[in-house]
Amino acid sequence: MNSIRNMKTTKLIVHQKGFSDAELLLNPKDFSDIQLGDVVEIWHPDEEYRLLLQVSELKEDLNKDNISVESGIAQTFQLKVYQPICLNVVNPKDVTLDLVELIIKDQYLGRSDMWRFKTFLEGKAVYLTKKLEHTNIRATVNELWTKGEKVSCGVISKDTRAVFRSPTAVMNIFIQMSSEMWEFDSFGDLYFEKAICGFLADLFAKWKEQNCCHDVTIVMFSRTYYEAKSIDEFPASIRECIQKDYKGRFYEDFYRIVVQNERYEDWQSTMIALKKLFIKYENRVLHFHDGCGERIPPAYNSMAAQGNFLETMNMSLNVFEKYYLDRNFDRTGKVAIVITPGAGVFEVDRELTTLTKQRTIDSGAGADLVCMGEQPLHAVPLFKFHSRNAVTSLDVGDDYNIPHWINHSFYTSKSQVKTSLTSTFVPRIKVASRRGYRPAADQRECIMKNEYHRADNGFPFSIDYDDYDAHVFKLPSSRTNVKKRGQVRLSTSVVTKQFGHPLPQTLAEARQLHQPRKRHVSDECIGLLVGSKESSKTSSAISIPMSRVKSDELMSNSVGADYKIIEEKSTLSKSTESSDSGEDIPQEPFRVGSAPLGQNMRFTGKAVKQNRALINPFAPTRMRVRKTFNRRRWVHAFPVDTAGTAMQPRFHQTYTKSLLDGESIHPQAPLADPSTGEVEAANIAVQLRKKKSSLKRDADLETKSLSSESEDDPQQHISTTTGLRYSDSQSSFNSHSTALTNREAIGPSHSNITSSVSQASDASYSLLWGVTGEQELCPIIAIDVDWKSMSLPAILPTTTDYFPENRNLMNDYVVADYQLLPDDVNMDLSFGQASRKPMKAQEVFNELFYQRLAQGFQLICGANTLSPRGQPDISTQKYKSKTGLMRAKSTPQTTYWLSIGRIFHRLNLIGRTITVTRYRPRHPHAQISRMYPYRFQMPDSETYDSSETHFDNEQLENYNWNYLDNYICTMGQGDYALVQSLKFWRSRFFLMPSINPATKRIIEGDERCDIYEEKTITEQEQIMCGFLRFMETLNRIRRPASTIKTRSRDENIPPEEVFKLSTTSPSIEIIEALLDQSDGLSFLPLQLGLPNNNFISAEAIRWVRQEVGGVNSINQAIDLLQRLVDEKFIRHISNKADVKFMNGFFLYYILPLTKGDKNTGLTYTDVSGFLNDWCEVLVDTNEDQTLNDLPEFLLPKLPSKQSLNLPSFGSHNTDTNSDYGAYRNIYNFSNIDLDPSSKSGRQEWGTLQYHTWFNPLCPFEIQVHWLVATGPILGDFVSSWGRKAGMFGMHLLPVPVDPFMLPDTPGSDPLRGPVFVSLNIGSLKEDGNDIFPEFDWASRDERLQLLQEAILKRFGFLLNSPRNHWPYGDENRQDQYVHMSGGMFVICMQRKARRRLRTDSFCSVNSGSSPDKASSDLDKVGFLWSWNFLLTKKWRTSNTGDEHFQDKVLADFRSFCSNHENRLKDFWEESCQKVSFIQI
């Protein structure tokens, strides 16, 4: 550190936070040259460690020659109190950080919030464990990096990258239950025990250690294959989820949800549940259909490579892509973890791979793959694409893909660590089990008999596979002469000349010529082996013919050709005995990795296409691809070394026991081990390969047109590169490491076994393997578990460094731009309350930038003032000319470049004009949609249910940014309102009574749960009073409790003769009585937007009933007040004279009695402007309904349903809000200030959607929609609503937008569904008769519905929306019910239900069925039960209960519906007796 001022020594003292919040206190008299904001370093003279602090307060009364440090900091960094300490002012540039890692917990942060928070931190000094807070965002410093090293303190600059990590994220953990789970690894561990007792146990321990509290869902999944040749072999009843793969095999996918959205501190019970499920899992899925009564083909479990890996990832993405729904205010981050017993190799479909990759990258979700198997010697994870024409085409090379978008890990068990410490050899593959003992002679004979049945040795000659690989993984030359027509036949003379013998014609001849397969190093290594006796010998293997035949007709499809088999010998007999009588070579589908073509076949020669070379998984560093945005999306989440290369410390160097014992290996030392000598030779060959291919690579880059989108299919455009790059000390191992994992982390101070990409190489290219493309793969590199990613997952960075080249922008993109003039647009708009002011151009410009960050865009670093890399702007000419004019006047200009996928946006502000330029790909990705049927079982379900979901890729280029930008510019006023396509964030809440004595009894131990009773009229009035107080909070009305006049009617009713007022009293007298300060109406305080003498309509009705004689009902009070409205004494605040007087939370005011009086407050010219600012709700007190205990389902005449009168001015913005759903006439919408205290320093607003009515017997629904808000501020704002509701005898609880997630609901969670509870109707039938024999057949459906409702009422369920409140009712609408505790939802299911359900236990029946058919289907009547997964610990109270309470209610509900102990029948008989008594 270079000091800029003189050092000074003083004495250290400490202070508490109560004395001062400053970290460092200085006396300005002692340090006259120090100013506020300076960064100083302090240290004890006898220690080298230094701490950086920032001066935020100068205190003149501080003791002389003393500095004071906050006591917590002094304790953390072990500073010695009252000891001499040195202080020096430093230049912030000398202590600038490269990366700061911040921990956010129990908060919701949007990506725009992270950007603003990081901007706030610029210029501030930070240290480890420092607590940071701004705009309610609370963060803790976790790691600090500079120049490739961890440091304890530093200064955050504009160029410092901030990485946010969350210990409270949404975690989906998938456990692949493939056949390997029941096998043992090479160390004696059962793979399942290794996964559960090993990895998961360690993961949960790390969560506890780091105080993590993730929202976790654990799913066990597998694929079951059936030994069937036709779909007709399956019964029709089970074919719904049967699928057929590319090989013609039939299979079915199973998912078993173990826990769902749980937040446990102790996961021990979950571990036990997993072990119990493991015992029964395989038998359950393999014999799932055995009970159907028909013959089922035999089933077997798939291996890990054949499993449903990509399907599982997409199911998780279906949830993550709906991040804006059901927004939780205490969770940030989303991660999917897949645990597989395999080694990370999967056989996948190409189209599904492309779909999964793009969805994963676009969503910004983390994808972790944890392998229980040993790390192979090739690149992983590895996808092997399906070949649908493997039988008819000689495509001998397997088509692989190395997915960089999956963060992969290999778990090391304790047995492996122990073996590594005690053994000199650690296996990297699982050796095949021994099949039994045979004498040596018999073994050789058996090998000779079976050798030609093996896929990789079924040829009559030996092959140099290394030589073959050198050609098959190389791009074909552009000067290749191609023979387009005719058959290609190898002549015997050519073969004899090349191989020294003629082509064998029989299997016997082939055996005589066969030599054992031998592996050799590549050509560059010949003669370079150190200490090898065979170094001077060349390979005796025969070269593959395609490398020496003049024409290229024999090139496989791996290098461009596609040949069909036209002539084959007869197939080999199934007998394993050898024969010398001219047996022909067996017919095999020769698609076996890098195996060569057979010489005994003739082919037709088609034109050779210049296709791509295949990926060699064993040498992925030989192939390089162009950098794309997809590859660089997460690069800024990693620290960088001194060369600017991203570092991944979890990549380790493997050890053997000899290395641990202190034996070092040096490149120059003689090596007795031939295998080590081969490694030495390979290292030297690498250097030769570098020199030989460097010039050729440069020439290829100029001549080949490589699209910047090659990453979409990494094999389409590649260029060969040099091999592995080692440093001079690459073979020197650190013998002093004592790591428990027996591996050495690679860091800046270690030997770089995998050195970074050479500085001389083209920076626009990256390696094929690895997350960042900057890490080279080497067989001695072991990949450890990325515990940080799975404990503290990172949030997608807000910045990136990729931008396409100018030629790609011009050739591959369509450019369009538009301009915004906020000052002109907002000139004619009305913004309602004076607290809301139109935004200026700079504010709008910033908000447009924030919105793109929030939707997944990333800021391109270094490209904010000019086009990246100095490239010219290629926007429209109109924009260019105007820009040039403004620049001539030296107008300030601000520019942002942002990108997501292949989409780039340029935001430019010049003066008061905002220009948005969009670059869209000329050839966008095709729309891909996959329908996926599967079976899954919920935690509380009794069986696997059939379901289906869709996998779709979102076309980001179709997002309507023009509409969104205008919405931001106008703040939602005028013609621009929120629509579904904007993907705005939303949260849904229910307001319900919190006082439920029955709930308390059940929690305290009552065994029965059907003990709830309906609220009385008095209780309903109390609930209504609490609701009105809550509506004041919702409308930001602050009224002291002392001004509220609450009097009971019984206490204020004088004798009939003594009433001062009556219904016949003059209106002026009633108005004067209302205005009386002692006994008059309680008016709302004067505040912004309200005139004088304003009041709530429900309170006025209560006052009239208490003070006016002859008024005995609510309707009579409404009639009297309506008379005052008609006589123009009272008017609605909207100033619309024809608005009638209504009961509820409606705002009216008393007009001035004299003409000279003037009323204050804002006036509204239209009703829509008023509804934008205020929430008004109708109230139904159920006063006219007689409360009786009669069962409605047995009454001779069913109760009628009358519609409630809605406001005469209808709903708000009906036309512009058509996207809010079919029930928009039931909801009203208003704007809401989401930051009333202005903590964020900007205007934040949203839209409030709420019921237009309130009934004390139903929940009141509220939804908050927003685009412009700070997550923590909004979370605290909504929490304040919950606290206020508790004060009024209510509780506000979050609920899902769609609680049931039925399959036919678009965008529903594929791993969530309701639990079916059957209602035993058969127990209610007598002598086989129908359940309602004495009533008309047409009323039976409605009576059955009323019976189900009566049962639900006994268990404390409330109807979500009363039917009489639907003036335009939907006959097919299914009623939903919510429990009084808010934790459970129910739908009544009967034969009228037509929606497809996720259950095999219930079948919907056509409503037009015959009576006999309908009667038989009554036995299938029941309920769909769903949980409120949003009811977390934060929202729970003694009135909501816990998970044990919810489980208890479900268990008792099932017991009741199944007629256990005749409870259902007793309820039926009790109801019948009540009706009989009334009739008598």
The 10s digit of each residue's pLDDT in 1287-1326 is 999 999 999 999 988 877 777 889 888 999 999 988 887 7
Handedness of CA 901, 903, 908, 913 (dihedral sign): negative
218-252 burial, b at 16+ Cβ within 10 Å, e below that, comes to bbbbbbbbbebeeeeebeeebeebbbebeeeebbb
Q: Are strands 565-567 and 400-401 parallel, antiparallel or unpaired?
A: unpaired
Prediction pTM value: 0.80
pLDDT tens by residue, 1011-1051 = 998 888 888 889 999 999 999 999 988 887 666 665 554 54
CB 97 within 8 Å of CB 157: yes
Tell me phi and psi for residue 171, to 5 degrees: -115, 125
pLDDT value at 1415 more than 70: no
| Residue 212 pLDDT | 94
* Amino acid identity, position 99: L
Range from 236-240, 568-572, 852-856, 1474-1478 carrying the lowest mean pLDDT: 568-572
Tell me phi and psi for residue 53, to 5 degrees: -135, 155
| Residue 630 pLDDT | 80
3-class secondary-structure state, position 1359: strand
* Amino acid identity, position 469: D
| Residue 572 pLDDT | 34
pLDDT tens by residue, 522-539 = 333 333 333 433 433 333
pLDDT value at 754 more than 90: no
| Residue 1157 pLDDT | 60
Which DSSP string corresponds to 498-544? Answer: HHSSPPP-SHHHHHHH---------GGGTT--TT-TTTTPPP-SBPP
Range from 12-21, 674-683, 892-901 carrying the lowest mean pLDDT: 674-683
pLDDT value at 122 more than 70: yes
Q: 616 pLDDT band (50/70/90 cuts)?
A: confident
| Residue 1215 pLDDT | 38
Distances (CA, A) of 1007 to 266, 880, 1010: 27, 77, 10
* Amino acid identity, position 269: S
CB 1258 within 8 Å of CB 1366: no
Omega cis (within 30) before 381: yes
The mean per-residue pLDDT over the stretch 661-672 comes to 38
Q: Which residues contact 1226 (CB under 8 A, 6 or more apart)?
A: 1251, 1252, 1253, 1361, 1365, 1366
Among candidate residues 1113, 1126, 1118, 1140, the one with its CA nearest the CA of residue 1049: 1113
End-to-end CA distance of the chain: 100
Most confident of 24-28, 1398-1402, 1419-1423: 24-28
pLDDT value at 845 more than 90: yes
Burial (0-12, 13-18, 19+ Cβ within 10 Å), 616: buried
pLDDT value at 1440 more than 70: yes
pLDDT tens by residue, 792-836 = 999 999 999 888 888 888 888 999 999 999 988 877 766 655 456
The token pair at 1021 is 């009035």
| Residue 1166 pLDDT | 64
How far apart CA 7 and CA 842 sit, in angstroms, is: 44
Distances (CA, A) of 1220 to 954, 978, 1198, 1250: 21, 9, 34, 12
The token pair at 759 is 């500085």
3-class secondary-structure state, position 1381: coil
Range from 20-34, 80-94, 573-587 carrying the lowest mean pLDDT: 573-587
| Residue 419 pLDDT | 75
Range from 595-604, 783-792, 1044-1053 carrying the lowest mean pLDDT: 595-604
Q: How far is CA 767 from the centre of its chain?
A: 28
pLDDT value at 206 more than 70: yes
| Residue 1445 pLDDT | 93
Burial (0-12, 13-18, 19+ Cβ within 10 Å), 53: buried
| Residue 433 pLDDT | 58
Other CB atoms closer than 10 Å to residue 1147's CB: what's the count? 21
pLDDT-above-90 percentage for the chain: 41
Distances (CA, A) of 1471 to 38, 1195, 1342, 1465, 1468: 81, 10, 17, 10, 5
- Name the average pLDDT for the chain: 75
pLDDT value at 1476 more than 80: no
pLDDT value at 348 more than 80: yes
CB 1095 within 8 Å of CB 1148: yes
Q: How far is CA 1186 from the centre of its chain?
A: 50
pLDDT value at 1199 more than 80: no
How far apart CA 514 and CA 510 sit, in angstroms, is: 6
Q: Which residue has the higher pLDDT, 1257 or 747?
A: 1257
Which DSSP string corresponds to 978-1000? Answer: --GGG--EEEEEEEEE---HHHH
Q: Are strands 125-127 and 57-58 parallel, antiparallel or unpaired?
A: unpaired
How far apart CA 1463 and CA 1480 sit, in angstroms, is: 26
How far apart CA 87 and CA 95 sit, in angstroms, is: 15
| Residue 833 pLDDT | 57
pLDDT tens by residue, 1158-1173 = 665 556 666 667 778 8
Q: 1209 pLDDT band (50/70/90 cuts)?
A: very low
| Residue 1335 pLDDT | 79
Cα atoms in the 13 Å half-sphere on the side-chain side of 846: 14
Among candidate residues 346, 502, 352, 345, the one with its CA nearest the CA of residue 429: 345
Q: Which residue has the higher pLDDT, 1000 or 1339?
A: 1000
Contacts of residues 1328-1335 at CB distance under 8 Å and 24 or more positions apart, as own/partner, are 1330/1411, 1330/1415, 1330/1418, 1331/1418, 1335/1196
Q: 588 pLDDT band (50/70/90 cuts)?
A: very low
How far apart CA 545 and CA 903 sit, in angstroms, is: 47
| Residue 1110 pLDDT | 87
The token pair at 453 is 């049945």
The mean per-residue pLDDT over the stretch 1270-1294 comes to 94
623: which strand partners? 720
pLDDT tens by residue, 251-263 = 999 999 999 999 9
CB 708 within 8 Å of CB 699: no
